[in-house]
Structure 1
């Protein structure tokens, strides 16, 4: 059980595997005001940057779950680097099946709501690990502008226009699921650039070092097309944010 190698190649220099900068991640932490000792479960945690930096800045404790052994190894190294390895742990497991052994104060899934079959299902999954009165964090894309055609939809990594909704549509979905939206921090064009454009240099330097690898042709084609596709469609049409929810 692991992620395809192409994911770890694209994001090998990233600490945050979403269109969030470290500044926005810190803003989110300050907005939530977690007290020392707050417990967090982060499903599909990637390289664990949220848990590690919040453990350093807010003295939280937490568990991150992911299927990528490469990302989890990086998460463990980051915890050691920041001196918080005694406050956070990382588990190699299928996040869609993981439930915390004890209820947590914050249950998070940022950028991987496929683990619950969509936003509503992921909220239900996170609630299984949440204490009464706790906070759910959902990171999710939304349409900033209506995509004009299927080419635009696919350039935004969606199978159909209905795969994402608008920002008002997301807020209504949270309400209809029985949750209050109590905070949010949204990506902007700069944070999208830092996430997506950084992948191009990762791919190019990897191609230079691995010209005969079995993935070289696929990633060479991606680098040929991805920058134009991004600036034409994704940068203009797709938003992303992290939304803090509390059960009514």
Structure 2
């Protein structure tokens, strides 16, 4: 089949844009909604805002703002908010999080998007992101910070298979990540990390819709380019960061 009007889908089988399961998201939301539920939510690098929308459903009357530069993702978020009956309680803004004036909020969510808050390069980007988050949360609010760390120090051959210019010092270990949060003026009220199953579900979901499209459109003019892109990403995961890159979900409270 060769349909020049068809193009590869994008992330249609992902609920969240990261290694976060529905079960873990529900547990986190239950904690956040059950103790001092937020009145305002700010989601930095929100994508389509899946976590924020679920949180707003759990906290009647709360309002949210999601910030992201990807117009396709924010359009998906607006459509989902409409479908869930939340359109009047949430806004999606297409802008950078660097220097944003849309805070402060009772809950600031930043899941795998610390880079959206700073122009700093690794390894200084995490410290800068945490400093920015400290200024965006209300005094008695909370921050949900999802950030990468090294589960195991990657050897040179693994680093070479990761993203361009990957280095062993660009991420801390989990203890170092929590230390950075404390140094930025937070206390960690909950520390958890993505499981291997969550990573596999995310990475498989990241590509599965495009793999199915490719199987249905082998003669498409974009097929070769798409196949090359899929192969490169899969190799980066399986030969590079799999088993070494972790994702921490830290619930942080500001020190008064």
For residues 30-45 of structure 1, the aligned pairs below 5 Å read 30-32=30-32, 33=34, 35=36, 38-45=39-46
**What secondary structure is seen at the aligned counterpart in 1 of 2:87?**
coil
Counterpart Cα distance in 2 of 1:183 and 1:96: 26
Gaps of 5+ in 1: 1-7
Contact 2:151 2:246 in 1 (8 A): yes
Counterpart Cα distance in 2 of 1:77 and 1:34: 29
Counterpart Cα distance in 2 of 1:218 and 1:238: 27
The structure with the largest alpha-carbon Rg is 2
**What secondary structure is seen at the aligned counterpart in 1 of 2:243?**
helix
| Alignment match, 1:171 | 178
Cα root mean square deviation, aligned: 2.3
Q: Structure 1 length normalisation: TM-score?
A: 0.85
| Alignment match, 1:202 | 209
Q: Does 1:119 align with 2:138?
A: no
**What secondary structure is seen at the aligned counterpart in 2 of 1:162?**
coil
Closer/same/farther in 2, CA of residues 131 and 224 from structure 1, 3 Å limit:
closer
The CA deviation string for residues 159-178 of structure 1, in whole angstroms up to 9 with x for no partner, is 21111111111111112223
| Alignment match, 1:79 | 81
**What secondary structure is seen at the aligned counterpart in 2 of 1:105?**
strand
Q: Structure 2 length normalisation: TM-score?
A: 0.83
Q: Does 1:109 align with 2:115?
A: no
**What secondary structure is seen at the aligned counterpart in 2 of 1:95?**
coil
Closer/same/farther in 2, CA of residues 156 and 179 from structure 1, 3 Å limit:
farther
Counterpart Cα distance in 1 of 2:237 and 2:172: 19
**What secondary structure is seen at the aligned counterpart in 1 of 2:211?**
helix
Contact 2:142 2:251 in 1 (8 A): yes
Gaps of 5+ in 2: 1-7
1:152 to 158, 178, 183: 158
| Alignment match, 1:47 | 48
Counterpart Cα distance in 1 of 2:38 and 2:135: 20
Closer/same/farther in 2, CA of residues 30 and 233 from structure 1, 3 Å limit:
same
Counterpart Cα distance in 2 of 1:246 and 1:41: 15
| Alignment match, 1:91 | 93
Give the superposition deviation at 1:84.
1.6
| Higher share of residues assigned helix | 1
Contact 1:186 1:240 in 2 (8 A): yes
Counterpart Cα distance in 1 of 2:106 and 2:115: 23
Counterpart Cα distance in 2 of 1:49 and 1:182: 23
- Matched pairs, number: 237
